[in-house]
Amino acid sequence: MSREDVLVSAAWSEENLTTPGVVFVEVDEDTTAYDGGHIPGAVKIDWKNELQDPVRRDFVDREGFEKLLSAKGIANDDTVILYGGNNNWFAAYAYWYFKLYGHDTVKLLDGGRKKWELDGRPLDKEQVERPATEYKAQEQNLAIRAFRDEVVDAIGNKNLVDVRSPDEFSGKLLAPAHLPQEQAQRAGHIPSAINVPWSKAANEDGTFKSNEELAEIYGEAGFDGSRKTIAYCRIGERSSHTWFALHELLGHEDVKNYDGSWTEYGSLVGVPVELGTGKEG
Amino acid sequence: MSSGCGAPPQGGAVEVGSNEVVVSGKVRSDGAPVGGAFVRLLDASGEFTAEVVSSTEGDFRFYAAPGKWTVRVLYRNASGQADVVALGPGVHAVEVALN
């Protein structure tokens, strides 16, 4: 798979805003940004209210995803271009989620909203209405989604890539530094995990680094290309960004995202937890 | 527990827990507050730690670990940065001017 199959530039996007069969979708946890101005023609998906089950900690089911995409006016053969704030975290999560439900023609706008805004490209507040479709989803492709037992079994034999910041990894913080630190779970990381913060994969403007740079970053951190891989963070969206870098850009075959991530693992009874940098031993 | 990892609204009153280290401040250009700027918190080695978008009043806030930090700001055709030493709990104020 080449970079062009999974990533589009802001310049390409601006030229293709009205191309038939191309649908732009802004994804974020907080959709205030969309409401204040979005890429012309883009529809929005609310990460929290539309992609998560309202009661259980899980995703909306297959029928729920079909209903959502049908209502958004997205067809099975549309090319979906995802973008969002927070350096594309939630857009990368949505990308992985679209792949999970079998939508093949999905791409990320490189750099997301940040790059678009820094470039001074147009945003508008037009209400976007697309005619409803009859979207059909597949069963979840669990080759890209890891669950907790699999993660515990992976200790010491798969690449466990913890993509949180060094202070979250070592146990000094429980959440990224832009959030209050009120979480209940234990601090630390999964034993044998390597720490490669998601941000290492991105340039300052939010675009992904080159494949050569990415290969060097993960290689230096101790990533073993011959092993299977599970990426995690706190709730699974920063690790979607890294899943994208490892699986979609670098082409590593067996890479899963653990969406339960630290908020689940750090609350489990009886599992091992490691503190510190992981390099003291 | 916050359900997501997105940044909460910036600005306004802040309740600081007894052990929390808060780095907070304003982005300005020619003295006027700048909203919608990308504000990045970098650690003492220059490594990225967190990012928020400034409020319409130019405000930003981080919940950091004790240490020396750099706040770097990106805005259309402009950037700026400032250092802040936040060794203990409490609110550590910093202003960043764009140029």
**pLDDT tens digits, A155-173:** 999 999 999 988 899 998 8
Nearest CA in chain B to A169: B49
Please compute, for residue A262, the number of CA atoms within 13 A of its CA located in the half-sphere on the CB side.
34
C-alpha gyration radius of chain A: 18
Q: Does residue B18 register a pLDDT over 90?
A: no
| Bridge partners for B83 per DSSP | B70
Residues of A in contact with B38 (CB under 8 A): 114, 118
Residue B97, Cβ neighbours under 10 Å: how many? 16
Q: Is A167 one of the annotated active-site residues of the chain?
A: no
Residue A185, Cβ neighbours under 10 Å: how many? 16
Nearest CA in chain A to B74: A118
- Note whether B47 contacts A48, CB cutoff 8 Å: no
- Note whether B1 contacts A86, CB cutoff 8 Å: no
Nearest CA in chain A to B75: A118
Q: Does residue A95 register a pLDDT over 70?
A: yes
- Under 8 Å CB pairs connecting chains A and B tally to 101
Q: Does residue B1 register a pLDDT over 50?
A: no
The residue with tokens 């940040």 is A114
* A114-158: pLDDT as tens digits: 999 999 999 999 999 999 999 999 999 999 999 999 999 999 999
- Cα–Cα distances (Å) from A210 to A3, A202, A214, A217, B13, in that order, read 10, 9, 6, 11, 41
- Note whether A177 contacts B65, CB cutoff 8 Å: yes
What pLDDT does residue A133 have?
A: 98
CA–CA gap between residue A20 and residue A4 (Å, rounded): 19
What length does chain B have?
99
- Cα–Cα distances (Å) from B61 to A7, A152, A184, B8, in that order, read 31, 35, 22, 9
Model confidence band, residue A96 (pLDDT cutoffs 50, 70, 90): very high
Picking from B15, B34, B30, B47, the residue whose alpha carbon sits closest to that of residue B74 is B34
Of B5, B17, B74, the CB nearest to A118: B74
Strands B21-29 and B59-64: antiparallel
Extract the tokens encoding B77.
Answer: 């055709």
- Note whether B1 contacts A182, CB cutoff 8 Å: yes
Q: Tell me the mean pLDDT in the region A47-73.
A: 96
Model confidence band, residue A184 (pLDDT cutoffs 50, 70, 90): low
Q: Does residue A190 register a pLDDT over 90?
A: yes
Nearest CA in chain B to A88: B6
Residue type, A136: K
- Note whether B4 contacts A48, CB cutoff 8 Å: yes
Query: For the sheet containing B78-86, what is the strand order?
Result: B48-53, B38-42, B67-75, B78-86
Picking from A192, A228, A241, A10, the residue whose alpha carbon sits closest to that of residue A114 is A10
Residue type, B93: A
Which comes out higher in pLDDT, residue A217 or A177?
Answer: A217
B32 and A CB contact within 8 Å: no
Residues of A in contact with B8 (CB under 8 A): 178-180
- Note whether A28 contacts B48, CB cutoff 8 Å: no
CA angle, corner A58, sides to A37 and A238, nearest 5?
Answer: 55
List A233, A235, A246, A249, catalytic entry = A233
CA–CA gap between residue A161 and residue A233 (Å, rounded): 8
CATH architecture, range B21-97: Sandwich (2.60)
- Cα–Cα distances (Å) from A242 to A5, A77, A134, A170, A195, in that order, read 17, 26, 32, 19, 12
CA–CA gap between residue A228 and residue A218 (Å, rounded): 14
